[in-house]
A = this chain, B = another copy of it.
Amino acid sequence: MTHPLFEKHRATLEGAVAAIASRAYWSAYNEMPSPKAYGETAPDDGKRAFEAHLGKQFELGQPGQSGWHGGETSPYGMALGVSYPVCDPDALIAAGLAAMKGWQDVGADGRTGICLEILERLNKQSFELAHAVMMTTGQGWMMAFQAGAPHAQDRGLEAVAYAWREQSFVPAETVWEKPQGKNPPLVMKKHFQIVGRGIGLVIGCGTFPTWNTYPGLFAALATGNAVIIKPHSNAILPAAITVRTVRAVLAEHGLDPNLVSLCVADKRATTQALATHPAVRSVDFTGSNVFGQWLIDNCRQAQVYAELAGVNNIVIDSTNAYKAMLGNLAFTLSLYSGQMCTTSQALFVPAGGIDTEDGHKSYDEVCADLGKAIERFLSKPEVACAVLGAIQSADTSDRIELANSGQLGKVVLASTALTNPDFPAAKVRTPVLLACDAADEKAYMEERFGPISFVVKVADSAAAIALSERVVSTHGALTVGLYSTRQDVIDAMTEASWRGKVALSINLTGGVFVNQSAAYSDYHGTGGNPSANASYSDSAFVANRFRVVQRRYHV
């Protein structure tokens, strides 16, 4: 009775369901871009597959097409020249709704099996996707591969696992037999049908076009909905490749491919009309507070799952591994030039300095040592280019210039331009580190997306924790960190993180970084502070995406 693709991928599903229960380490997709893992020809095949898209019209066979639109600019300076179908949103909605009945009919196990098949196919395209992510976002190669392909696939599978677990709780049918004392019991047969709610709109961002898109895509899809992906205007290709593969797998299994479509909108008004359409019942969004709040305020017909901006921060109270701490922070602040929603922006350091295993360090010493650690870490150009990637947007470049000018705080380390020999036109910028006082709230207490961080001088550690909590509660944060050797400080920060509802990383000095979030184990966002109203993934991320319709009769 179970769907063949459910049986085919049962072990993977069981692994994922076990992982979300234990939250121990697990992964379905190899994160190493190696021929050993993906096949001898995979790297070349993937590169060629990516290159085959360039300068072409990306056919998707969607309904309501009126033309083509493209115009992505690579942060690496390479010409992309891909154009994508422009389709009437109403036609995409109508076709998506029409496809839902067949999708409902395959049942939760069928939908789960097909989603797992799609993920397996996407995994085989990991090199192609990685090039597309790298060239549209400016991520370095390794990050583009890992975050853009296997890690994004893991996040998608995680959502499928949650969706499966919740749907599997709904019995297809039951016999309800109520005793009536000495009389015969009342007996009813009841059937329970899982139905999707309508169109799930997934609005992608410019920096993580798959990692931040797959959770919403697969959560909505697995729970019986049609999905329209509206990618960021500068990161369409990874979404287009994904949509083409989804549509192909659906068609191969006798399902209407119009269940999932790509909506390339060149005007914000188009996206707004789409997001507020009565048939759209969920909106997944990653991006700016302005548009995110607009969606929350205006999409009253839909559940909105929004990841917005925040001011991630770290309290540095003390450490017994000073050098390792600085190294860990240097990596965090450098990775993808800080263009991550999880990168730390404000580091709170007591005015009186901190105790370390290497003696007391003054506030000024901490600033200077962190600046030096970043310089040292990026001293080899090939390392620097690989880690930094390229600057994704002109706005980020402008923010770097502003920070470099000294207007936001004292420049501890200025951002410099590097040249990437493989991509001479790439905009490569090292991080800028500023020093400022806790009172300079205007400087550090709004998100300054990009490689811009502040070492903020606070009265003492208690004040730092209080300030961190206030920043989290009022401006939001996806991540906070703490360095401390004192249990009472750790306890105080822990309690602050509960009140602020933010994930806390303590004393990271090794190969894990505060801006990393591992599928199945780390909740990405809590949904409890202004930086996000939902989490990847938890039950709340999937449970409200489907409805149960019952029928009952006497037997």
Chain A interface (Cβ < 8 Å from any Cβ of B): 20-25, 104, 165-166, 169, 171, 174-180, 186, 188, 190, 192-193, 195, 197, 296-297, 300, 494, 497-498, 501-512, 518, 521-523, 526-528, 535, 538-540, 543-544, 547-554
Contacts and interface: CB of A to CB of B under 8 A. Distances in A.
Contact of A21 (B169, B522, B547): B169
Nearest to A23: B174
Residue in A501, A512, A527, A547 whose Cβ sees the most chain B Cβ within 10 Å? A547
A195 B528 contact: yes
A492 to B, nearest CB: 12
Given A175-B24, A508-B554, A553-B506, A547 B521 contact: no
A90 B497 CA distance: 24
Residue in A300, A539, A543 whose Cβ sees the most chain B Cβ within 10 Å? A539
A503 B197 CA distance: 15
22 contacts: A22-B171, A23-B192, A24-B177, A104-B498, A174-B521, A176-B518, A190-B521, A195-B498, A195-B528, A494-B551, A503-B551, A503-B552, A506-B551, A507-B553, A507-B554, A509-B554, A522-B552, A523-B548, A528-B547, A535-B547, A538-B548, A544-B544
A494 to B, nearest CB: 6
Contacts of A551: 494, 497, 503-506
B552 A535 contact: no
A351 to B, nearest CB: 26
Contacts of A508: 553-554
Contact of A512 (B24, B512, B549, B554): B554
Contacts of A544: 527, 540, 543-544
A502 B21 CA distance: 33
Given A174-B22, A186-B512, A550 B195 contact: no
Contacts of A543: 538-540, 543-544
Contact of A180 (B179, B180, B190, B511): B511
9 tightest A-B CB contacts, nearest first: A528-B547, A539-B543, A506-B553, A540-B544, A540-B543, A504-B551, A543-B543, A23-B174, A25-B178
Given A507-B553, A539-B169, A197 B528 contact: yes
Given A178-B518, A195-B501, A504-B550, 5 more contacts: A21-B171, A23-B192, A174-B521, A296-B300, A503-B549
A496 to B, nearest CB: 10
Contact of A176 (B193, B521, B553): B521
A23 to B, nearest CB: 4
A504 B495 CA distance: 48
Contacts of A176: 23-25, 518, 521
Given A509-B554, A538-B543, A190 B549 contact: no
A295 to B, nearest CB: 11
Contact of A549 (B169, B175, B498, B547): B498
Contact of A23 (B180, B190, B503): B190
Contacts of A296: 300
A547 B526 contact: yes
Contact of A528 (B20, B169, B549): B549
A541 to B, nearest CB: 8
Contacts of A22: 171, 174
Contacts of A169: 20-21, 165, 539
Contacts of A512: 186, 188, 552, 554
Nearest to A180: B511
Contacts of A174: 22-24, 521
A465 B497 CA distance: 54
Contact of A526 (B20, B528, B549): B549
A219 to B, nearest CB: 12
Contacts of A186: 510-512
A179 B197 CA distance: 40
Nearest to A538: B548
Contacts of A193: 498
B527 A497 contact: no
Contacts of A548: 523, 526, 535, 538
A554 B24 contact: no
Contacts of A509: 554
Contacts of A511: 180, 186
Contacts of A195: 498, 501, 528
Contacts of A166: 539
